[in-house]
C-alpha cells in the first residue's frame, strides 16, 4: 500500500499483536497489542526534501484526540 500526505487507511483487526511496517528508502515499524473495542491511531511521518530525498520515516502511536483530528483532515483510501 502506498501512503501519501493527507491519506489514511482503516484496518479492523482481531485482538492481539499486530505489526505495521513502512518499507522503502527509510524503514520503520510499530507493534500494537490490540484490545477488543479499542481504536488506535498510528501516525506515519516521512522526513526529507526534493533535494535530499527521504532521510527518515517514523511510525508512532498517537493519542485519540490528535488521531481523530488528523483523520478529519484526511481522505480514506481503504478499509480492511
Residue 14 has phi, psi (to 5 degrees) of -70, 155
Predicted confidence (pLDDT) per residue in 11-55, tens digit: 999 999 999 998 877 789 999 999 999 999 999 888 877 787 767
Q: How confident is the model at residue 80 (pLDDT cuts 50, 70, 90)?
A: low
CB atoms within 10 A of CB 59: 19
pTM of the predicted protein model? 0.79
In terms of DSSP H, where are the helices of 1-80? Answer: 64-72
Q: Residue 5: pLDDT above 90?
A: no
- 70: its cell numbers: 488528523
Q: How many angstroms separate the CA atoms of 29 and 13, rounded? A: 17
Amino acid at each position: 500500500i502506498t501512503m501519501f500526505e493527507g491519506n489514511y487507511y482503516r484496518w479492523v483487526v482481531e485482538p492481539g499483536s499486530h505489526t505495521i511496517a513502512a518499507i522503502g528508502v527509510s524503514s520503520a515499524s510499530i507493534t500494537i497489542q490490540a484490545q477488543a473495542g479499542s481504536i488506535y491511531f498510528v501516525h506515519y511521518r516521512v522526513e526529507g526534501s526534493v533535494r535530499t530525498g527521504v532521510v527518515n520515516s517514523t511510525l508512532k502511536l498517537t493519542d485519540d484526540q490528535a488521531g481523530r483530528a488528523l483523520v478529519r483532515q484526511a481522505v480514506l483510501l481503504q478499509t480492511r
